[in-house]
A and B are shown apart, each in its own frame.
Chain A
Amino acid sequence: MRRWLSILLALLIFAAVVIPVVSAEEKTKLVMSIHTDFNREGLDDYIALYERLHPEIEIIKEVTPFEDYLKKIQIDAVSGRVSDIYHVYSLWGVELVRSGILDRPPAEIQEDVRKNYVPVAVNGATVDGQIWGIPTEIDNYCLVYNKRLLKEGGFSEPPKTWDELVDMAKKLTKFDSKGNIRQYGFTFLAGWDSAVVHPFLAMLWSNGGEYLSPDFKKALFNSPEGVQALEAQLRLFREKGTDVNGSVWDFPNGNIAMMIMAPWDENNLKTTMEDRYADVGVAPIPVMKKPATALYTWFAGVGRASRHTKEAWDFLKWMTAQVYGPNQTTRMGDYLVQSVGAMPSRKIDLENHPKELNDQYTACFVRELKNSVAEPNVAQGAEIKTILMNEIMSAWYGKKDAKSALDSAAAQINTILARYYK
């Protein structure tokens, strides 16, 4: 027994200690942190190509699900694990900059970003007046609808105003004998903070309201315009145009007539709907007072603790800024429109991808860029949005009315803002 145990123990200690040891380093390794939805087909080809062009460089992807991504970046900093390249959601920029996680880009890159990217994306990569990375994808929201279901319900056109939408959703919702909804007129995007908050912001702005004061000292979304916007959402629940069990991810099953969706869902819809993809229609979000939609951006930056910042910026430059080929586009632009399904933010990419950006799905999102308002980069952005999400959802569930939900969210958010903006 004793000998047995000691042999097994020795083996296990050996395994525990030795197996993680990595082989001797020869190449310069660049660790690139991205989230799952950014890890699409084609990225590996670019990486392989770069490694062929620069044999001394090896690029290692670290892919984390979106839900865990901010947490992972922060815990990495806490644990001392260094990523050389980060692809981050603009809203996290303030926290990442304050935690000292990001490296300042070289002057030429800042110059290039200022000159060649659309202003909303430049703002997204800017924290406290300083540019912290190279903008990549832009996302906004449109109304995505199922043409076949609309036609079956006797509608030839998507709704233009929110009142029309509520009315149509009501008529397009079907129940079974038990009273369960079997076909949804409309379903809300839900599942993470932005999913709930962004469409609300779109309606708030469409209704002439404001999210936060420009100096970030105060939440303004609980104004009468905001309450009206949330009220408009609640009407869908009250008038049985939707319920809390509906999920936008059922859209491919053909039992959801309308939803508010972002450009990145294009590939999902294509692969899961196959020949029924022709049913997919996209229109601007129905207006309340004026056309408006919410927009957010991502940017690529370099880790401040990286030991290879120059190599990392070089790779990013090659990937995002170098215009190449007969179409005069960037590799990032190609990758975004072809594989990710998002909109690029470099002006030349927006101009030179006519085929992908004018297709059945994306065209509407590109047209709506002119009506898009960017979500501001505020400190504790994720925490603030979680609070707002919870309060909006408690109104959906009928636990609070629109005004008290938004008032409660504003009160909690104001105490957070007071800590950071004095």
Chain B
Amino acid sequence: MAGEVRPVNRYGKPMAVGSVVLAVVAATMVLPFIWLALSALKTRAELVAVPPVWAPAVPQWRNFKAAVSEVPLGRYYLNSFIVAGAISISVMITSAMAGFALSKYAFRGRDIVFQGILATMMLPSFLFTIPVYYMMRHVPFAGGNNWLGYGGMGLLRSRLSMILPFAVSAWGIFLSRQFIMGIPDSILDAARIDGASESRILWSIIVPAARPALITVGIYTFISQWNNLFWPLVVATSAPELATLTVGLKMLETSFDPNRNAHLILAGLTLGIMPVMAVFASLQKYYVRGITMSGVKE
């Protein structure tokens, strides 16, 4: 963000006390992560020392090795990546299509559909959990089921059960609709005169033009799905091989005896969040845009 020109002194001269407050709150934002990184390198005894020690005397790098040898962090990462990735791509595509339909076509029922989609954001997700779980089990022909949907586990042993319930996002549709509305109709009309089909217009004109919005939708969706716990936890209870990273991090507590192995739990946590944090931080721009676009530009 170098070279950003900030409007100076909206409220007069900055006060020192303001700087102090800002610095203190910012410090609390970082402190837990620093504590985590340092503690992941401590011995068991250092974690329960009285008075507490800040930094390990000798960094215990083998904590990481021990944590990884017990917990399949790699598989959690892979599962999270596949699930969050597939959801993001599906959300991007369906948002582009629905956003296009809801902004550039006039047809009866359009506004009702749009408002209906927006209203779904108010529904607590637990309202769907039980029926969707039951449905996923009884998908015909999947996972050992017969044509009636009985006999096996259905999709509950497949990542599809984690992906499908999030494949469309009301927020994504809303955001891409707002963006596509800003694309001039004249371009579309010109393409139509050239004989372009409607789907060609979508893919060759709308999608490239709405790219910033769609990338934002994709990245924002990816991050929020990466951090999602509830539904993956429900599914992974009977399909541990599908556990995503959040579920895996939760299981750290119970797969290591927390009373003896706090250092390993903290090492696992560090490995589970720090690398992703670096990646997500570098995508900050898109994430910020995702939040602000939905909030302010109404």
A residues contacting B by CB (< 8 A) are 1-2, 5, 8-9, 12-13, 15-17, 19-20, 36, 62, 64-68, 71-72, 75-76, 78-81, 182, 247, 249-250, 252-253, 268, 271-272
CB-nearest residue of chain B relative to A2? Answer: B203
B residues contacting A by CB (< 8 A) are 44-45, 48, 50, 82-83, 85-86, 89-90, 92-93, 133, 137, 144, 151-154, 156-160, 163, 203-204, 207-208, 211, 234, 237-242, 251, 253-255, 257-260
Residues of B within 8 A of A16 (CB): 82-83, 86, 158-160, 163
Check A12/B89 contact, CB under 8 A, given A2-B203, A80-B156. Answer: yes
Residues of A within 8 A of B253 (CB): 65
Residues of B within 8 A of A20 (CB): 157-159, 241-242
B97 to chain A, nearest CB (A): 12
Q: How far is the CA of A93 from the CA of B129 in the complex (A)?
A: 28
Check A268/B153 contact, CB under 8 A, given A9-B89, A17-B158. Answer: no
B261 to chain A, nearest CB (A): 10
Residues of B within 8 A of A2 (CB): 203-204, 207
Q: How far is the CA of A71 from the CA of B208 in the complex (A)?
A: 48
Q: Is the CB of A12 within 8 A of B82?
A: yes
Check A182/B50 contact, CB under 8 A, given A12-B82, A36-B254. Answer: yes
Residues of B within 8 A of A65 (CB): 251, 253-255
Ordered by A's residue number, 6 sampled pairs between the chains whose C-beta atoms are within 8 Å are A8-B89, A16-B159, A75-B237, A79-B153, A80-B137, A81-B157
A198 to chain B, nearest CB (A): 18
CB-nearest residue of chain B relative to A73? Answer: B238
Q: How far is the CA of A182 from the CA of B49 in the complex (A)?
A: 11
Q: How far is the CA of A76 from the CA of B237 in the complex (A)?
A: 8
Partner of A68, one of B144, B160, B254: B254
Check A250/B48 contact, CB under 8 A, given A65-B251, A79-B137, A79-B239. Answer: yes
Residues of B within 8 A of A78 (CB): 133, 137, 238
Check A247/B259 contact, CB under 8 A, given A12-B82, A79-B153. Answer: yes
B250 to chain A, nearest CB (A): 10
Check A81/B85 contact, CB under 8 A, given A17-B158, A249-B259, A272-B260. Answer: no
Residues of A within 8 A of B45 (CB): 253
Q: How far is the CA of A194 from the CA of B41 in the complex (A)?
A: 34
CB-nearest residue of chain A relative to B158? Answer: A20
Q: How far is the CA of A62 from the CA of B239 in the complex (A)?
A: 10
Q: How far is the CA of A249 from the CA of B48 in the complex (A)?
A: 11
Q: Is the CB of A80 within 8 A of B153?
A: yes
Residues of B within 8 A of A80 (CB): 137, 144, 151-154, 156
Partner of A79, one of B204, B208, B238, B259: B238
Q: How far is the CA of A19 from the CA of B85 in the complex (A)?
A: 15
Given contacts A20-B159, A65-B251, A249-B259, 12 further A-B pairs with CB under 8 A are: A2-B203, A8-B89, A9-B89, A16-B82, A16-B163, A17-B158, A20-B241, A36-B255, A65-B255, A79-B137, A80-B151, A249-B258
Q: How far is the CA of A80 from the CA of B45 in the complex (A)?
A: 44
Residues of A within 8 A of B137 (CB): 78-80
CB-nearest residue of chain B relative to A62? Answer: B240
Q: Is the CB of A15 within 8 A of B238?
A: no
Partner of B153, one of A19, A36, A81, A249: A81
Residues of B within 8 A of A250 (CB): 48, 259
CB-nearest residue of chain A relative to B82? Answer: A15
Q: Is the CB of B82 within 8 A of A81?
A: no
Residues of B within 8 A of A247 (CB): 259
Q: How far is the CA of A80 from the CA of B238 in the complex (A)?
A: 9
Give the residue among B45, B242, B259 with the most A Cβ atoms within 10 A: B259
Residues of B within 8 A of A75 (CB): 234, 237-238
Residues of B within 8 A of A71 (CB): 237
B225 to chain A, nearest CB (A): 13
Residues of B within 8 A of A36 (CB): 254-255
Q: Is the CB of A72 within 8 A of B255?
A: no
CB-nearest residue of chain A relative to B151? Answer: A80
Check A9/B242 contact, CB under 8 A, given A15-B82, A36-B254, A268-B260. Answer: no
Q: How far is the CA of A169 from the CA of B234 in the complex (A)?
A: 44
